[in-house]
Amino acid sequence: MMAEMQLDVMRPGCPAEVDTVAEEIPVAFEFNGISHTVMLATPRDLKDFALGFSLTEGIIERRGEVFDIEIEEAAEGITLRIEIAGGAFSRLKERRRSLAGRTGCGLCGAESLQQVMRDLPRVTSNEVFRLSALYEGMRFLPAQQALQQTTGAVHAACHVDATGNIRHVREDVGRHNALDKTLGALAGIDAGNEGALLITSRASFEMVQKCAALGYGVLAAVSAPTAAAVRLADKLNVTLVGFLRGSSCAIYTHAQRLQESVI
């Protein structure tokens, strides 16, 4: 399926013109033939989405527990058929939940507080990261947001390395989905957990949780964090940065990781 569509629109006092809008369709996740959840998402980079979601939700513990990912398109949406190891599937059945995903909230449908407040270990990485690398990454990111440039309706997430180079830019109508896609792309190449993650949205509780689940120590957002995100980042040893714009930002937690230069 296409990630965008074109249609004629009318603007008061102007002739009709062609506009491009982002697609938002139901994407169903099935694990070993069992339905798990449905998310509204942009139909692009879906294998990255499947892998990233499986990892950040704790359904699998490592990339090798996913044996196969099949994408099945139908008139009503897309189904991701994910084959996982028996041990992972047994764990999933024990903590299984039924949720209906929303683009604005990644926690809709959780059945208990324990499912929301996952018991994650603190991030162990002590990598010192230059602030200038974050500024460089955010400066170059808009040029690689192809879908945002044409539709103006999607979020992006990416990885930035110590020199400011960005890679694995992924876009989606859902900010959580964009981050899952980027994390899935990184896991697919066994990239480790060095570097920082950039997001073109606010930093919410679950965004911090997803980064910490994969061991990333720096999450930087173009907008503000929530109070819950700040508390969780502090608890899990994640450096949380907000309002990353131009050559300025606000560092909310664990500022010791960020330096203007590394000595």
pLDDT at 73: 96
Residue 221: closest CA among 175, 174, 259: 175
Long-range own/partner contacts, residues 141-149 (CB < 8 A, 24 or more apart) = 141/166, 141/169, 141/198, 141/200, 144/169, 145/169, 145/171, 145/200, 146/171, 147/3, 147/4, 147/22, 147/42, 147/44, 147/171, 148/200
Q: Is 198 helix (H, G, I), strand (E, B) or coil?
A: strand
pLDDT at 111: 52
How many CA within 13 A on the CB side of residue 238? 33
Q: Is 257 helix (H, G, I), strand (E, B) or coil?
A: helix
How far is Cα of residue 222 from the mean position of the Cα atoms in its chain? 14
Contact 175, 199 (CB under 8 A): yes
pLDDT at 51: 97
Contact 45, 62 (CB under 8 A): no
Please check whether the two domains, 25-116 and 129-259, share a CATH topology: no
Q: Is 215 helix (H, G, I), strand (E, B) or coil?
A: coil
pLDDT at 118: 80
Active centre residues (catalytic): 105
What CA–CA distance (Å, rounded) separates 217 from 10?
47
Please provide residue 129's backbone torsions phi and psi, each rounded to the nearest 5 degrees: -120, 135
Who contacts 31 (Cβ-Cβ below 8 Å, separation ≥6)? 54, 59, 82, 83, 84, 89, 92
How far is Cα of residue 223 from the mean position of the Cα atoms in its chain? 15
pLDDT at 94: 81
Q: How do the domains of the chain map onto residue ranges?
A: 25-116, 129-259
Helix (H) or strand (E) holding 157: strand 155-160
User: Which residues of the chain have a pLDDT value below 70?
Assistant: 96-117, 261-263
pLDDT at 17: 84
Whether domain 25-116 has CATH 2.60.40.1180: the reply is: no
Whether domain 129-259 has CATH 3.40.140.10: the reply is: yes
Residues in the chain: 263
pLDDT at 263: 38
pLDDT at 213: 95
**35 DSSP β-pair partners:** 30
Q: What's the Rg (C-alpha) of the chain? A: 19
Enter the pTM of the model.
Answer: 0.90
DSSP string, 81-136: EEEE-HHHHHHHHHS---EE--SS-S-TT--SHHHHS--PPPP-----EEHHHHHH
pLDDT at 109: 44
